Chains A and B, each alone.
Chain A
Amino acid sequence: MSAITTDEIISKVNAFLVDEFEVEPQSITPDANLKETLNLDSLDYVDLVVVIESNFGFKVKGEDFVNIKTFQDFYDYINSKIAAN
């Protein structure tokens, strides 16, 4: 099976974020702030961990979100975890 490309990761991430957090697809841009755009409160981070696990099969630690500010940060983080796995 060929490795997933960065574009495919972005597309997949955007799709499940739109579905889970019920935001408009166009509101998600690489430079946009993840927390503000998705209107995340402390409970929503629990659900973010769940959707990442169900889509990519790995578990994210809550503290990993500390350095994720923008969607680009988030894509990069997912990329690095996939590469590490």
Chain B
Amino acid sequence: MNRVVITGMGVYSCLGKNLDQVRDSLYAGKSGIGYDQSRKDFGFRSGLTGILEKPQLKGKLDRRLRIGLAEEGEYAYLSTLEALENAKLDTAYLDSHEAGIIFGNDSSALAVIEATDIIRAKKDTTLVGSGSIFQSMNSTVNMNLATIFKLKGINFTVSAACASGSHAAGLGYLFIKEGYQDMVICGGAQEVNMYSMGSFDGLSAFSIRENEPTKASRPFDKSRDGLIPSGGAATIVLESLESAQKRGANILGEVIGYGFSSNGDHISNPNVDGPYRSLMRALSQAGINISAIDYINAHATSTPNGDMFEARAIHKMCGDLKPLVSSTKSMTGHECWMAGASEIVYSLLMMRDSFVAPNINFETPDEDSAKLNITAKTVEKNIDVFLSNSFGFGGTNSTIIIKKFAD
């Protein structure tokens, strides 16, 4: 069994376009949420969304390599470029070693809609253009990044709703732990365009606190009224300890546990048992006591039911041991397919710089969140071990535990 370490990370989110910007936003408790009138005009119940600048890649990336990238692929290209630089990996190394890629992604709606609009208008599929098919598939991020970075190892996409990014990291961990790969680039990507989120808005799942966008995402708070859609991309480089040490890589953390489960219950309403089993499986695999966990990055999205069930699951696991808990979705909104990966990056930044980012807008606990040690303020704290939860539609659950590296 190999030990699995993280040697690189990168991010592009509504909290910033790179690690430094995101780290500062996390520390300051800065929200990336805003109001988008065009959503209301389109028929959305809520105009709230994470606000991201569209990357401009023309002139930076060769045309053929660029035109297959959908919106989320552009974010993922930038987060992966940063992660590879962070890991001190260059093209020559990737070309001569077997590095894999497993990304979490569960839609590429805009590309599909744009292509369909052209076909409807022109009655001719050949006028869609050559990039469209490579933008339209769920595996769009994987197929493009594997081509751009000339990756030669395992290459597939994980579609697991809002746990996609976390399962991607978990599977990368297993591939390396079991000795099948020395290095796997893992991540998650999420499109932000309104077309991808209309049907989700239609469930009345989004917050309508539109007069206060930065206060709208309030996980665990008693007055929470729904999530806010958001997105971007995040990437981590997972590597066997042997590979990392051989090339003298800087080690950011060690993955020690991956828990997973399925609720076997309702398609959208969570429960306690499913997340609890995921938590306990991760803990068992990590071989640590609950008291070793310094910080839990909760999945909590700011929906009344979801946060309640997660609070109960965490409490069931931790009891009177009360590690610090925060949901960074209070600042980012719900980054959906990307969230499991980005929240690993956010937590790694906290571990690196010894702080716990706040669960902003946590003002009044409810009966369940009162039982957890949720921090609404930034806490200066050494983190040796953190746990990150991700749960998705269909009852898919994933839990990752990461430890500060020690020989």
**Would you give the shortest CB distance from B98 to chain A, in whole angstroms?**
26
Residues of B with Cβ closer than 8 Å to A?
Answer: 58, 63-64, 67, 122, 124, 126-131
Residue numbers in B under 8 Å from A22 (CB-CB): 58, 63
Q: Kindly report which residue of chain A lies nearest to residue B132, judged by CB atoms.
A: A46
CA distance A59 to B127 in the complex (A): 9
Determine whether the beta carbon of A21 is less than 8 Å from that of B129: no
CA distance A44 to B124 in the complex (A): 17
Residue numbers in A under 8 Å from B63 (CB-CB): 21-22
Determine whether the beta carbon of B126 is less than 8 Å from that of A49: yes
Known: A44-B64, A50-B127. 12 other contacts (CB 8 A): A22-B63, A46-B126, A46-B130, A47-B67, A47-B130, A47-B131, A49-B126, A50-B128, A53-B122, A53-B127, A59-B124, A59-B127
Residue numbers in B under 8 Å from A53 (CB-CB): 122, 127
A41 touches B (CB below 8 Å):
yes
Residue numbers in A under 8 Å from B126 (CB-CB): 46, 49-50, 59
CA distance A47 to B131 in the complex (A): 9
Determine whether the beta carbon of A41 is less than 8 Å from that of B129: no
Determine whether the beta carbon of B129 is less than 8 Å from that of A46: yes
Residue numbers in B under 8 Å from A41 (CB-CB): 64
Determine whether the beta carbon of A44 is less than 8 Å from that of B130: yes
Residues of A with Cβ closer than 8 Å to B?
Answer: 21-22, 41, 43-44, 46-47, 49-50, 53, 59
Residue numbers in A under 8 Å from B130 (CB-CB): 43-44, 46-47
Instruction: List, sorted by A's number, 9 A–B pairs whose CB atoms are closer than 8 Å.
Output: A21-B63, A43-B64, A44-B64, A44-B130, A46-B130, A50-B127, A50-B129, A53-B127, A59-B127
Residue numbers in A under 8 Å from B127 (CB-CB): 49-50, 53, 59
CA distance A46 to B127 in the complex (A): 8
CA distance A22 to B127 in the complex (A): 20
Residue numbers in A under 8 Å from B131 (CB-CB): 47
CA distance A15 to B67 in the complex (A): 19
CA distance A49 to B124 in the complex (A): 12
CA distance A49 to B126 in the complex (A): 8
Residue numbers in A under 8 Å from B58 (CB-CB): 22
**Would you give the shortest CB distance from A36 to chain B, in whole angstroms?**
15
CA distance A56 to B315 in the complex (A): 66
CA distance A54 to B128 in the complex (A): 11
Q: Kindly report which residue of chain B lies nearest to residue A40, judged by CB atoms.
A: B64
Q: Kindly report which residue of chain A lies nearest to residue B118, judged by CB atoms.
A: A50
